Chain A
Amino acid sequence: MRITTVKENEYYLIAIEGDLDASSSIQLDQAIEEAVSKKETKIIVDCSQLEYISSAGLGVFMSYIQDFQANNISLVLCHLSEKVRNVFQILGLDELIKIVNTKEEAKTIA
């Protein structure tokens, strides 16, 4: 798995490529941690290349939900494949995390 982070204006973009499982979720955790420490408030996660997400990967997102609410940080996921989106939906996480189709959409609501 590969994670790349880019700063676009006020948006902090994290792109995930490959499988997000127990071993690779640590990298995602570090990337989000870094964004939080840099006082970023608009984080967009591009999941267009994300092929698989395990419960450990989901755990990373949910572990920040309260932090984000408390610090007014918005996290938006975009370009999810149907399979990955289904995982979020079944788990009910789509009610807690904003999930949109495109990056542009994400920027408008972030």
Chain B
Amino acid sequence: MILKNLRNLYFILAFVSWVLILADDVTVIRIAQPLIPLSFSDIIVNVLLSTFFLFTFLGFKIEIGSKRSGNFNDLLWQVFIIGAITVLISLVIKSAGLFNQNALFLNDPLISNILYHINIGIITIFLANGFYVWKKMILYQKTKRTDVIWHIFEYLTLISVVSNFFFFDVTDPLFLIATSPITILGLISAFNLKWVAFLTYKQKWRSILLLSLIIIISLSFLERVYEHHIVSNLIIDLADNVFIQAIFGFMFMNCIIALLVLLFNLPTSSVFEQKFGEVMLFQKLHQSLQVGEKEEDMYELLISSSMTTVMADAAWLEIRDNKGGLKAFQNSNIDEYDVFEIKKALRKNQVNISSEPQYIKDILSYPHTEKIKHLDYKSFLLIPLTSNNQLIGTLVLLKNLNDGFDKEMVDIIFTFVSQASISIKNFRLMSDAIQTERYQEELKIAKDVQQSLLPASLYLNNTVELSVYSKGAKEVGGDYYDVYELSPTRFAIVIGDVSGHGTSAAFNMAQMKGVFQSLVSLDLPVDEFMVLANNALGRCLEKKNFITLSLFIINTETQTIQYARAGHCPAILIHSIDNTASFLDGKGLGLGLSRNNTYEKHINKYELSYSKNDVLILYTDGLVEAHNPSRDEYGYDRLKQMGLESASDKPRQIIDAIIENVQHFSGSTQFEDDCTLLILKFS
């Protein structure tokens, strides 16, 4: 914003100076008595002229400097447009004089001076604009050296504005020697033509045209300047102005050099463009790796880019998956049937895709090619896509020329294809990573679901004390337990294990809970419960999944336990009277193992009574299957022994003792499988 204001200020100052000079001119010529005493007039006019030049240039310095570099055609176009407009204006002025037919009009010192003065303004604008446009072009991709040289040149040039105050004979050799440093610096700068290289073929032509036009415009200005110089009734004569001449010379020199360079660049331009295109292709290939693009887009890019790079007439691409199966096929300019025929012909000639690229100069010179003769493809380039020495695909490029691929092309395409192979590999790694992440996310959800399926609090009544330990494995397992109050003195307790791990285990557990909650309220005998549960689960569980379950109905009034064991590890009852333990085993098949109507044959109902201070130990196989490094399992006997040793404690302490013992035995605090332990103590 400040810069913009500064620029406007410069332009206003320049304009004011210009108007003041004009006013002075008019007064000098019209009124014999000028406003300013003649002795000062020269100095004042020169000061004004210098400020006009300086501020116009400074204004354009800001104006052009703020423009984005890179679009050189636009910059040249701007120079041309300003030049064209100024030429137009000066032509209008000139023609106005011609139509007037009045010789006096032109010879009138006032009019010719005013016209010339307008010309000065126009030319200065043209030159200032041109000068800074050139600066932009010269300093494109600048180095420290070019930057320094330019700035010395620019400031020396601007300082030369003071030359207005003196008279110089521009043809004087001494003068030329004195100003030669500026000329040399300008010349050095003029050869910084890096921008030329970045033009496309079309843009180069356009630049040549624009430069030619600018040169013509400059010449027309020069002509105008000198035309008036000869008439020479001028107060301010630009033809004598060193500053203007220097800028003119600089621009002219630049235009000519650039024009020549552009002309000589034209023939090699297409090669450069191609190389540049190749670089861009690589860049595109890298960019395509970014999130959001698919592996399929890569194939498209690979095939189309390869074809453009080597100017192939047709191509196809085969991509194999990690197991070697065909994953993708992409063809361009050739139909699938022809590809099939060509592959058959290649196979007959023992041309197999291996890890080495192969080049066939003329397929039609091979035998067994009758069927593909009509296709008119002669030279083939077969390039394998490999990653970690594994073949992940093949790219085949076809040309209808004999020996149509030269070494350069082949080299480029190899690099390109190996780059693409890496990209494809990366794509796969990335999608694998995403897959894993998604899987872990699912597991987390499953774990949460599983936790929410377990009862939040366990309380029967004040004659039973109950504690639970439940520890999920690293993976999601399927341990399940639940309680249900049938009456204030009768409770159903269930403990089970769903086979399998992961999301499906959590899902099956949810089904188990649904079955339990709906059947238990019917208050059926435990074996009938199991038959119905088996029916229900047999219909919804996957064939390989099953559930082990033990159901206990505890009557605290009669102090009896009715139970059925459907494949679940047998519970242990510690009798407090004689401190003995018994396993509540007996016949019982896991739920879902038998899916016909024979399940009732495999399940039994058992009943026993308990007494005060007896302890019932319920658990899942994760506890007894916990093993030590030498793979011995904790087992039922150790559990029974621990139960006996700690039976006099409260349930919480019994749990702590058992878990500590298991962990001590296995040498790890982390269970491999889910592990659940429920202790009931009767009173």
* A in complex with B: yes
**A6 to chain B: which residues have CB within 8 Å?**
none
**B500 to chain A: which residues have CB within 8 Å?**
22, 55-56, 59
**A51 to chain B: which residues have CB within 8 Å?**
631
Cα distance, A11 to B548, chains bound together (Å)? 32
Query: Which residues of chain A from 34 to 86 have a CB within 8 Å of any chain B CB?
Result: 51-52, 55-56, 58-60, 62-63, 65-66, 83
**A63 to chain B: which residues have CB within 8 Å?**
543-544
Whether A62 lies near B602 (C-beta < 8 A) is no
Whether A56 lies near B544 (C-beta < 8 A) is yes
Cα distance, A83 to B568, chains bound together (Å)? 15
Interface string of B580-611 (1 = CB under 8 A from A): 00000101111011111000001000000000
Whether A62 lies near B546 (C-beta < 8 A) is yes
Whether A95 lies near B602 (C-beta < 8 A) is yes
What DSSP secondary structure best describes chain A's contact surface? helix
**B593 to chain A: which residues have CB within 8 Å?**
62, 65, 91-93, 96
Whether B596 lies near A93 (C-beta < 8 A) is no
A52 nearest in chain B by CB position = B631
A57 smallest CB distance to B (angstroms): 10
Whether B544 lies near A96 (C-beta < 8 A) is no
B635 smallest CB distance to A (angstroms): 9
Question: Would A66 and B544 be within 8 Å (CB), given that A59-B499, A92-B590 are in contact?
Answer: no
Q: Does B501 contact A (CB under 8 A)?
A: yes
**B545 to chain A: which residues have CB within 8 Å?**
59
Whether A55 lies near B499 (C-beta < 8 A) is yes
Q: Does B497 contact A (CB under 8 A)?
A: yes
B261 smallest CB distance to A (angstroms): 70
Whether B589 lies near A66 (C-beta < 8 A) is no
Size category of the binding interface on chain A? 10 to 19
**B585 to chain A: which residues have CB within 8 Å?**
90
Query: Which residues of chain B from 534 to 555 have a CB within 8 Å of any chain A CB?
Result: 543-546, 548
Whether B566 lies near A92 (C-beta < 8 A) is yes
**B594 to chain A: which residues have CB within 8 Å?**
65, 96
In the complex, the number of residue pairs spanning A and B with C-beta atoms less than 8 Å apart equals 61
Whether A90 lies near B595 (C-beta < 8 A) is no
A29 nearest in chain B by CB position = B544
Whether B567 lies near A59 (C-beta < 8 A) is no
A51 nearest in chain B by CB position = B631
B586 nearest in chain A by CB position = A92
**A90 to chain B: which residues have CB within 8 Å?**
548, 567-570, 585
Cα distance, A60 to B633, chains bound together (Å)? 23
Whether B499 lies near A58 (C-beta < 8 A) is yes
B303 smallest CB distance to A (angstroms): 38
B471 smallest CB distance to A (angstroms): 18
Whether B589 lies near A60 (C-beta < 8 A) is no
Whether B595 lies near A66 (C-beta < 8 A) is yes
A75 smallest CB distance to B (angstroms): 14
Whether B596 lies near A92 (C-beta < 8 A) is no
A55 nearest in chain B by CB position = B499
Whether B589 lies near A95 (C-beta < 8 A) is yes
B551 smallest CB distance to A (angstroms): 15
**A62 to chain B: which residues have CB within 8 Å?**
544, 546, 592-593
Cα distance, A93 to B631, chains bound together (Å)? 24
Whether B546 lies near A55 (C-beta < 8 A) is yes
Question: Would A93 and B501 be within 8 Å (CB), given that A63-B543, A63-B544 are in contact?
Answer: no
Whether A93 lies near B633 (C-beta < 8 A) is no
Cα distance, A63 to B541, chains bound together (Å)? 11
**A96 to chain B: which residues have CB within 8 Å?**
589, 593-594, 602
Interface string of A4-35 (1 = CB under 8 A from B): 00000000000000000010000000000000
Cα distance, A91 to B497, chains bound together (Å)? 11
**A66 to chain B: which residues have CB within 8 Å?**
595-596
Cα distance, A66 to B597, chains bound together (Å)? 12
Which of B500, B501, B593, B631 gathers the greatest number of chain A CB atoms within 10 Å?
B593
Cα distance, A96 to B594, chains bound together (Å)? 8
A24 smallest CB distance to B (angstroms): 14
A64 smallest CB distance to B (angstroms): 9
Which of A58, A90, A91, A92 gathers the greatest number of chain B CB atoms within 10 Å?
A92
**A91 to chain B: which residues have CB within 8 Å?**
546, 548, 567, 589-590, 593
Whether B589 lies near A93 (C-beta < 8 A) is yes
A95 smallest CB distance to B (angstroms): 5
**A52 to chain B: which residues have CB within 8 Å?**
631
A22 nearest in chain B by CB position = B501
B570 nearest in chain A by CB position = A90
B497 nearest in chain A by CB position = A55
B324 smallest CB distance to A (angstroms): 19
The listed residue (A59, A83, A93, A95) touching B544 by CB distance below 8 A is A59
Query: Which residues of chain B from 478 to 521 have a CB within 8 Å of any chain A CB?
Result: 497, 499-501
B592 nearest in chain A by CB position = A62
**B587 to chain A: which residues have CB within 8 Å?**
92, 95
Whether B589 lies near A56 (C-beta < 8 A) is no
Whether A93 lies near B499 (C-beta < 8 A) is no
Which of B588, B589, B602 gathers the greatest number of chain A CB atoms within 10 Å?
B589
Which of B546, B566, B588, B631 gathers the greatest number of chain A CB atoms within 10 Å?
B546
**A65 to chain B: which residues have CB within 8 Å?**
593-594
**A60 to chain B: which residues have CB within 8 Å?**
544
A25 nearest in chain B by CB position = B544
The listed residue (A55, A59, A83, A92) touching B588 by CB distance below 8 A is A92
A56 smallest CB distance to B (angstroms): 6
Cα distance, A65 to B499, chains bound together (Å)? 17
Which of B499, B501, B544, B569 gathers the greatest number of chain A CB atoms within 10 Å?
B544
The listed residue (A56, A83, A92, A95) touching B499 by CB distance below 8 A is A56
Whether B567 lies near A92 (C-beta < 8 A) is yes
B548 nearest in chain A by CB position = A91
Cα distance, A73 to B156, chains bound together (Å)? 105
Question: Would A83 and B497 be within 8 Å (CB), given that A90-B569, A92-B593 are in contact?
Answer: no
Question: Would A59 and B546 be within 8 Å (CB), given that A92-B588, A93-B590 are in contact?
Answer: yes
A28 smallest CB distance to B (angstroms): 11
B225 smallest CB distance to A (angstroms): 92
Cα distance, A95 to B588, chains bound together (Å)? 9
Interface string of B553-579 (1 = CB under 8 A from A): 000000000000011111000000000
**B590 to chain A: which residues have CB within 8 Å?**
91-93
16 other A-B residue contacts (CB within 8 Å) besides A63-B543, A66-B596, A92-B593: A52-B631, A55-B546, A58-B499, A59-B544, A62-B592, A62-B593, A65-B594, A90-B567, A90-B570, A91-B548, A91-B567, A91-B589, A92-B589, A93-B593, A95-B589, A96-B589
Offer 23 A-B interface pairs, CB within 8 angstroms, sorted by A: A22-B500, A51-B631, A55-B497, A55-B499, A56-B499, A56-B500, A58-B546, A59-B499, A59-B500, A59-B546, A63-B544, A90-B548, A90-B568, A90-B569, A90-B570, A90-B585, A91-B548, A91-B567, A93-B567, A93-B590, A95-B587, A96-B594, A96-B602
- Which residues from chain B sit less than 8 Å from chain A, CB to CB? 497, 499-501, 543-546, 548, 566-570, 585, 587-590, 592-596, 602, 631, 633
Q: Which 9 A-B pairs have the closest CB atoms?
A: A92-B589, A55-B499, A59-B544, A91-B567, A63-B543, A63-B544, A91-B590, A92-B567, A62-B593
